[in-house]
Amino acid sequence: MNKNHATSVGGTKSHRIFLLLKDAILSGRLPAGSKLPGENKLAEQHGVSRVTVRRAMEALRETGLVDRRPGLGTVVLEQPLDATVMTASVSNLLPNMVKMSQASRVRLLEFCYVKPPESVRESLGLRDGERVQRSTRVRMADDKPFSYLVTHVPEHIALHYNEADLASMPLFALLERSGVLVDHASQTISATLASHDVATALDVSVGSPLIALTRVVYDQEGRGVEHLDALYRPDRYRIQIDLNRTGDEEARYWEPMPPAARQARRKRSRKA
Amino acid sequence: MNKNHATSVGGTKSHRIFLLLKDAILSGRLPAGSKLPGENKLAEQHGVSRVTVRRAMEALRETGLVDRRPGLGTVVLEQPLDATVMTASVSNLLPNMVKMSQASRVRLLEFCYVKPPESVRESLGLRDGERVQRSTRVRMADDKPFSYLVTHVPEHIALHYNEADLASMPLFALLERSGVLVDHASQTISATLASHDVATALDVSVGSPLIALTRVVYDQEGRGVEHLDALYRPDRYRIQIDLNRTGDEEARYWEPMPPAARQARRKRSRKA
């Protein structure tokens, strides 16, 4: 059962409504057992005809997201657990990626040397004219794609490894093998829509929501050694951040929890 | 100049292409000065006619995102800086929210007592039949909405404050005023599409990408005291996480950087 009409244009009104309702179901806003709004209400809300709404409902039924019964309306079905959501914790994001890469497979879509886009050149602190190696990879787990990764690495570092290395080892390990002393990283998390190429690679509809993460990694001298633009399917990957409240009365603040403490905490919470 | 066709259905093919290209521009994937693909290429990629593509291009021009010159094609324009992007750092996410709330304004859309959805009941650890207070708020900066917040708080805590309190004070401050000893929190970051109601409240098109954050806050006994579903406009809000690489050779890991260290580091990086 494939829930994605991969790379379909998503241009019709009924497909738009299908995408919105699918997103609401997969994100848990419409949980299993809940009833969708009536056709009339949806038609009014979206300024479309009932026929258009009915077509969207039919597409939801065909993809196994809802059941439709005369007189009972449209009810959200329990989703099978095979769509496992991976979670990455922030404090060990990169080690996780290494572990993950042992269990997951990579498709290398592109490997080339180019003049970097201005924003990448600036954030890596490169001089005008310095080239970078650009690679585009899709990471899969259980043969299902979950992330689309575009990386830029300064040429003098990237020359230490080749295409075959990148198709089989995580970039982070290759950087360290190249003698780079990784020191700190800056990350920004945002959201975006799947463009045509990305939708094809990640097997989602054009216009689907994606988690967007940009990371710049620096060495001990403060030089940029890697620029990553990562896009994640939210139904297969999420970012998890657990925090502790610490500090004294006057200056209380939040501190990220290390993974071990988190597990102990979970058990305590469950018992409580 | 309003870049958002608020609450328009987004149902036509040209509007879909407009949304995708707008997202690529506002996210920086198509930077100022870069040229959009030609009409033929876009038409082919999306399986639509050139007329449809031209309509999308025209909408981009009208909203001030691109310039179109005969013979030169469609070029992305520099975006005015008034669309300031707020960034929240993870380690001080809540204190930031408190500071932010002093500079920002809140619209309280809903305040009521309800039976919680099953997922909220479970994550707050409530007994069957226990009610919660649900509130829906929109936070604005410079009179522009940037976040849509739905919170659920167990009734016995929520009875300590009223609608007027919530319209003027951050929920977190109200919890502490109510005698709750906040201890730890669990957060998950994802991405979603703007539904009809959310799009209206945040002044974006239906189907626009949004950052989705779910947070559950616990007290010292491990009891859930707040469940938050937050949606953020990615063009006005981003989540920033800076990390340090620490530990010895065999077990290196990433540790979130406190804000002070981060600033010092930035200065060092700039000098390098």
To the nearest whole Å, the CA of A89 is away from the closest chain B CA by 9
- Nearest chain B Cα to A221, which residue? B272
The closest CB to that of A272, out of B185, B223, B234, belongs to: B223
CB A191 within 8 A of CB A133: no
C-alpha distances (whole Å) from A120 to each of A79, A123, A130, A134, B73 are 40, 5, 11, 11, 24
∠ Cα B194 B198 B201 (to 5°)? 130
Q: How far is CA A14 from CA A31, B122, B200, B209, in A?
A: 22, 34, 20, 19
What residue ranges of chain B have pLDDT lower than 70? 1-11, 80-104, 247-254, 256-272
**CA–CA separation, B259 vs A13, rounded Å?**
45
What integer pLDDT is reported at residue A134 of this predicted model? 96
In chain A, what residues touch B45 (CB-CB under 8 Å)?
A: 196
| Sequence ranges of the domains in chain A | 13-76, 86-240
CA-nearest of A178, A171, A180 to A150 is A171
Question: What pLDDT is stored for residue B47 in this prediction?
Answer: 86
Distances from the Cα of B47 to the Cαs of A165, A220, B41, B52, B113, in angstroms? 37, 49, 10, 10, 48
Report CA Rg, chain A: 22
Find the closest chain A residue to B192 by CA distance.
A209
CA distance A241 to chain B (A): 5
Which residue in A90, A191, A255 is closest to B209 by CB distance?
A191
**Cα Rg of chain B (Å, integer):** 22
From B24, B243, B244, residue closest to A195, measured CB to CB: B24
Is B19 within 8 Å of A193 when comparing Cβ atoms?
Answer: yes
Give residue B237's pLDDT: 86
Q: Which of A16, A241, A272 sits opposite B187 (nearest CB)?
A: A241
Q: What is the rounded CA–CA span in Å between residue A160 and residue B264?
A: 31
**In this complex, is the C-beta atom of B267 within 8 Å of any C-beta atom belonging to chain A?**
no
**Chain A 18-37, CB below 8 Å of chain B: which residues?**
19-20, 23-24, 27-29, 31, 33
- For residue B235, is it left (φ>0), alpha (ψ between -120 and 50) or beta? alpha
A179 touches chain B (CB under 8 A): no
Q: Low-confidence residues of chain A, pLDDT below 50?
A: 1-10, 82-83, 92, 94-96, 98, 259-260, 262-272
Residues 126-155 on A with a CB inside 8 Å of B are: none
Tell me, what's the pLDDT at B229?
94
User: Does domain B86-240 correspond to CATH entry 3.40.1410.10?
Assistant: yes
Find the CB nearest A193 among B23, B221, B257. Answer: B23
Residues in A closer than 8 angstroms to B118, CB to CB, are 31, 33
Residues with Cβ < 8 Å from A188, sequence gap 6 or more?
A213, A214, A215, B87, B238, B239, B240, B241
| Phi–psi pair at B5, nearest 5 degrees | -90, 80
Rounded Cα–Cα distance for residues A21 and B40 (Å): 32
Residue B106 distance to chain A (closest CA, Å): 22
Which chain A residues touch B125 with a CB distance below 8 Å? Answer: 269, 272
Which residue of chain A is at minimal alpha-carbon distance from B237?
Answer: A190
Q: Kindly list the residues from chain A whose CB atom is less than 8 angstroms away from the CB atom of residue B11.
A: 12-13, 16-17, 46-48
Check residue A120 and give its pLDDT: 93
pLDDT at A208: 93
Return the bridge partners of A150, or none.
Answer: A136, A229
Instruction: Say if domain A13-76 classifies as CATH 1.10.10.10.
Output: yes
CB B99 within 8 A of CB B141: no
- Whole-number Å distance between alpha carbons of B17 and A9: 9
This model of the complex carries an ipTM of 0.78
Q: Please, which residues 201-240 of chain A have a Cβ atom closer than 8 Å to chain B?
A: 206-212, 218, 221-223, 229, 232, 234, 238-240
Q: Do A27 and B187 touch (CB under 8 A)?
A: no
- Chain B nearest CA to A33, separation (Å): 10
Q: B187 — contact with chain A (CB < 8 Å)?
A: yes
Instruction: Name every chain B residue with its beta carbon within 8 A of the beta carbon of A187.
Output: 240-243
Nearest CA in chain B to A42: B196
